[in-house]
Structure formats: structure tokens, C-alpha cells
Structure 1
């Protein structure tokens, strides 16, 4: 279940504070613990372990957040200037202490597009992580990496919902640190299935376009900690069911 940031830091991070970075890198960072598979067509589950940075509905050209007065929009996030759907967006920051294996939030057919960093190299996320871990705060002014860094835009088409949704993976300082487990377009994927890993710090956003058929409601708030494939982060309610002919 979701936990408040302070509770998670106290129970999961503080016991490891005396360990060296080399020990953490070798024995802790790349862990992939066995987890129960949760399947529920009424929910999107978290795609990543981490701290919720933001959760809410935005228009395509509206700011998800402002970084030192510069707007970071949905179109910029997925690097598609023609994206035209208001969407529910949940951003999850994966700290060095989180499991970095990503899981499928809802079953469908997965395709992907990879985008290189806009600068010579990725911008580091360490400043934001330090503020989260040491001060238990989320300073958006430290999220400038969102404008620049390498990312993978995973699109999952869901016939059952009549829409696609997106899992956006943003890499930290290391380039080519996003590692899909299967490089295949339009592949079937199941809710809770492991599909990728990101090395070291990173961020993963769930982006769900709004629909006339369904209402999508965020179940999490900033400063909560979630686990991939375990914690539900978006509820699905049917508004207008399809008729037998497939029409609204």
C-alpha cells in the first residue's frame, strides 16, 4: 500500500545510510524482488517504485509543472507537438533506494519510441533526490532535467478501454540507461508484467488520455511512495458503456 514519504524514508532508507555507495550499487540497487501479481480491470497500477511528484489532469499545452518559470507541458514531455488530448498525469521519481524494474500498469499492446537527450548529455537528478531524501520536500525548481533528458515513450493500446495510454521513462545522468526487456513493437503486455529497467536515478510518468466512456481518478498525491505493480494509482469508472453494436 502507498506510504507517506517520511514513513518510507524511516523504514527503508535510514537502515541503509551507513552502507557505502559501492555496496548499495552491487547488492541493493539491482534487486528485483518477487511480488504478487495484481490484476484488476478497474485500476491502473504504479509503473514504478518511487515518490509521487505530481498527479492531476492537464491540457496538452498546459504546464505539468513550472521549473524556474519555464513551463513543462504534456507535449514537451512526450515530445509530440501534435498531441491533442487532455490527460491525467502521475509522475513518479525513482530514488537510488528504489527497485528500478518497471511494470505494466494496464494490459494492452506495447510500442515505444526512444528520444535522445536534447543536450550533449543528460542532466543529473541528484539535487532533487537529495532534497526528497534529506528534507522530505519536492522542489520543482530542481526538476530541470525534464526539459532535456533521454526518454522512452511507451504507448500501450488498450482495446478494452478504447484508448491508448503512455508510460514515459526519463533517464538520469547516464545515457542509454533505459533497458527494455523485449525490443519488439506492438507486443502484448499484461498488467503487472515486468517490461523494462532504468539504471540509477530516474523518473516514470503514467499518462492517461481522458475518455468519453470512462472517468479516470488519481488515487495518489504528491509525497506518497508507491510500489510498481502493487499500488493502484488511477481508478477507472465506466460512464457510457458501449452498446452491442460497439457504439456509445
Structure 2
């Protein structure tokens, strides 16, 4: 099993404390540190994923908690429980144009107040190629992934920089402890293109949030 680097460090400190706690306190304290270390590794796990050949995929594991329109664009948000994998993945293939950190509050990520939370916007210029090799319907449009801190999530870690090339499902960041990841779709994506509803359970890099037919297919 692969783990996020921070997780190995935190778990290592807990495991290192086991003999000290056992000698200076009680064996029960040592067992508690072992369990805490194992729980930390579980939280920071980073399992492999197999992205589908097309479609805008979920950036996170969890439950769809937001589906709404913002001007002429749709937003889909995925709430990550503390038990979910917290590694975030690219919703589309393309080039990272901008990574913007926005300071803010730390409200529960599932609440309406979370719109004012600390966040990181990863804006990707999509380069989606249709199955037949023709330009895809999202080519040249902006797809925005937003990592949102929660009540306990104080550390957002984007792993990409402007200019980076990403493929659908690539790892692009991590958020420590319960939080949310949103996709803000380009205007070309309509409600009828969505493949999820509020309450659906999704997996990062594998579950398709939306599909958009190519212009060629629509004209046939």
C-alpha cells in the first residue's frame, strides 16, 4: 500500500513512542500508540486508481454534497469524511494554468458557511481528446478543481505547479482530515451531462461526474 509522505512521518512518531509509553506508563498506553499509528497510516493511504478513458472524473473519494449552478457554470462538490482517502486527483487531462491559495475560515466542509473556508484553486486548461482522435468538446476550456479546508483540515497540499501536464486521474494534492473537493465545470457542461446526484458515493479518479459529447457526435 502506498501512503502520503506526511502520513509515514506522523505514524513513525507514534510507533516510536510505543516502547517509551510501555515502559514509563503501561502496556495499554503502548497499545494505544500502536492503534493510533495504524489509524494514521489508514487515513494517509494512497491506493492506486484506474481512470476511465473519458469523462470528467471525481477529484475525491466521498459523497456528492453540492450540485449547483454559478452563473453559466455548474459546480459539483464531494465531501470527504475522515475515513475516506484524502488524495485528490485531476478531473481532466490538460495543463495546470494556475494554483491559487485563498485564506479563509475553517467551518465544517458540509455546511453552507464552508464557501468562506480556506481553499486552493487548481485551474486546468483541458486537453481532452475524443475517442476518434479528434479534439474533444472540452479542449481549451478551463476546469477548476478547488480543495476546501474543513473544521479540522488545516493543511491543504497541492502537488502541482503552473505549467504541469496532468492526465485524468493523476494525483494533484492532499488535504489533511475531513474536507471537500469541488469541480467547477466550463459552460459547455450542462445539467443533462452530469452523471451524479447529491448523495451519491464517488471514488477519486474513477467515478465519472459528467460526460460531454463531441461536437461531431452532436451534429450526427
- Return the TM-score normalized by structure 2: 0.70
Corresponding residue for residue 123 of structure 1 = 107
CA distance in 1, matches of 2:119, 2:169: 21
For 1:152 and 1:234, the matched residues in 2 are separated by 22
> Which residue of structure 2 lines up, in the alignment, with residue 173 of structure 1?
151
RMSD: 2.5
| Aligned equivalent of 1:231 | 207
Match of 1:197 among 167, 171, 174: 174
* Structure 2 equivalent of residue 217 of structure 1: 193
After the TM superposition, which residues 66-145 of structure 1 pair with which residues of structure 2 at under 5 Å, given as runs? 86-110=72-96, 111-117=98-104, 119=105, 122-125=106-109, 128=110, 142-145=111-114
Q: Would you tell me which structure has more helix in proportion to its own residues?
A: 2
Aligned residues: 173
Structure 1 length-normalised TM: 0.63
For structure 2, list consecutive stretches of 5 or more residues without a partner in the other structure: 1-31, 129-138
Q: 1:50 and 2:26 equivalent?
A: no
SS of the residue 2:41 aligns to: helix
SS for the counterpart of 1:236 is coil
Distance 2:209 2:153 in 1: 29
Between the aligned partners of 1:143 and 1:24, the Cα distance in structure 2 is 33
CA distance 1:178–1:108, change in 2 (3 Å): same
Q: Cα deviations across residues 206-226 of structure 1 (Å, max 9, x unaligned)?
A: 111213xx7671100111110
Q: In the superposition, relative to structure 1, how do residues 44 and 166 fare at CA in structure 2: closer, same or farther (>3 Å)?
A: same
Name the structure with the higher strand share.
1
Q: Quick one: structure 1 residues 108 and 175, their matched pair in 2 at CA, closer, same or farther if it must change by over 3 Å? A: same
- 2:115 is the counterpart of 1:146: yes
In 2, distance between residues paired with 1:205 and 1:98?
16
> RCO higher in 1 or 2 (8 Å CA, sep ≥ 6)?
1
Structure whose CA Rg is larger:
2
User: How many angstroms does 1:232 deviate by?
Assistant: 0.8
Tell me the secondary structure at the aligned position of residue 237 of structure 1.
coil
Q: Deviations over 1:97-127 (max 9, x none)?
A: 100001111100112101011x5xx2244xx
Q: How far apart, CA to CA, are the structure 1 residues paired with 2:159 and 2:152? A: 18
